Amino acid sequence: MPWNEQIRRISVSECLSRRPRPRFARGDGDLSLPKPVRSATLAAKPPVSGESRINKGCLSVLRNARVFIIMASMKKLTQMLLQQVGWQVEHLGFKIIPASQSFQREFPDGAQSLHLAFIRHKSDFDVTADIAIRFNALQEALSEGSPKPSEVRDAFSFGAELGNICEGRQKRWTVTSEADIPPVSRQILQTFMDVGLPYLERFSDKQTALNALSGDNKEAWLHMPLHNHRANLAIGLAYLLGNKEEFQRIAAHKLEFLIARKDTNPQKFIDFKEKLENRFQNY
């Protein structure tokens, strides 16, 4: 056999008898395996800046969504409470005014109001209730010369928070869930019937209101804590009652009080007083 045929036959025989080599290295001498590393610890791959921003963004969205849900829930509860109280005072002639969170009814000289204020927390809210009286003619006189006369005309003249009237401190009711609406609305109504309604009926008389506002002690502060405005209300009521002597006496006392305090500017009071004095002369 020629030597080249012998070489070809031997090569083919060796190829056919050779075991196939695995794709990965083994420890049987085929290929040397890498030596094991003692106490090897795989470190976590630090997040790239883009991933960090995405994670923070997701957390921010989740927080905002949670806040939105809580706020929506609290808004729903406040609306439910307003509606519930509205139903309970409707028979007294009060109509709900949703925009101002109040219930109002008219009387010959003006209007009376029951108003609810909401103090919101993370997972609940507190409610306070106050009452107020508006004398239309008094607000009309105060609005003259004002930069926003319509706001002054529509404002209520004076009033007080129910807790301060009966307890000498603010009174609050807490609402956490829908289950709190019925009992809280009943408690507000009861306090209004016991305290608020008698106040409205009593001080809707001009002379009674003047007696309450002409002083400058803590009892007078209850109805109007702003000294300048309380002074204007007092002389305005005296003018509407047509009592010139009482008007002059109250005006002199109020001016002395405002000047002595040194923390108020009596000029607006002086201007209003002079305007009313001129009208008295034209009677």
Task: Give bridge partners of residue 134 from the DSSP assignment.
Answer: 111
Which pLDDT score, from 0 to 100, does residue 52 have?
Answer: 61
Which pLDDT score, from 0 to 100, does residue 220 have?
Answer: 96
Which pLDDT score, from 0 to 100, does residue 62 have?
Answer: 54
Count of helix runs (H) and strand runs (E) in the chain: 12, 6
Pairing status of strand 110-120 against strand 95-97: unpaired
Which pLDDT score, from 0 to 100, does residue 26 have?
Answer: 46
Write out pLDDT tens, residues 79-112: 999 999 999 999 999 999 999 999 999 999 999 9
Q: Kindly state the helix (H) or strand (E) to which residue 170 belongs, with its residue range.
A: none
Angstrom CA distances, 19 to 9, 30, 109, 193, 251, stand at 18, 11, 113, 103, 120
Write out pLDDT tens, residues 176-200: 999 999 999 999 999 999 999 999 9
C-alpha closest to that of 135 among 156, 104, 114: 156
Which pLDDT score, from 0 to 100, does residue 20 have?
Answer: 47
Q: Are 233 and 223 in contact (CB under 8 A)?
A: no
For the whole model, what pTM was predicted?
0.75
pLDDT band (50, 70, 90) for residue 264: confident
Q: Are 203 and 222 in contact (CB under 8 A)?
A: no
Which pLDDT score, from 0 to 100, does residue 17 have?
Answer: 47
Write out pLDDT tens, residues 40-92: 555 555 655 555 666 666 666 555 555 545 566 789 999 999 999 999 999 99
**What 8-state DSSP symbol labels residue 225?**
-
C-alpha closest to that of 1 among 191, 21, 225, 9: 9
